[in-house]
Structure 1
């Protein structure tokens, strides 16, 4: 009896014998197929939580502006901290639903979170940082210290 090793698409090894003509899968090939298959029930909504929101940062002569796209939330959903020149914006959302009928109970829950951290330059006036949430955009204004603001050009007279 001659034994051959076949390498299927998923990379696992299965044994087949050359004198068998049937396509009966071996136990190991069945296990490989089971775990390497795409299961629609799991793959469609498995990672439906929030990923890291996109951020725009711009600088003007007087301040830095941070805008974060996070639609569908409330102001109370956000936690904004300033810790040792580190600005930390985070969110944690939990959702639970339970439906009870005569002969069954259906319970669903979800969890999502994100955390973005930014190192602030020394030029930021930490006591004057302002945050606002409107139309799905979290906006932060980080004013610069007076000495860090750009001064307009001036002429110097030669004596």
Structure 2
């Protein structure tokens, strides 16, 4: 059987990349989003500089005096982060949905096994009752046979 869900997941993941590019282009043309991208781009740049400075020169304790980058570069960085968030979000949703699907499948399997187990337990109880009844019937028959023999032997023996 073809794993249709997995093929759909790959398709959605592949479509999310061009969709993210399209949304980045459209978003960079929106003035409010541009302002947000400038802020995000500047913060991302500052964080990147901080990490780089700490990694390459951990003893340096003075603050970074690197000037902010231009608004155009900030918009580019912000839209790139936006696109990455979209692609990552789609991938995350696909992983979560695959996990949830697996959990549902496993729960179905477990319910089916529980049903089979209950059916087997019911069958076992039924068989146990049948065996108990048969054993009781056989014991009663033997008991009656013994009583009959005992009664016939006591009648035939002289006192």
Give the helix-richer structure, 1 or 2: 2
TM-score (norm 2): 0.21
Give the strand-richer structure, 1 or 2: 1
TM-score (norm 1): 0.21
Larger Rg: 2
More contact order relative to length (CA 8 Å, sep ≥ 6): 2
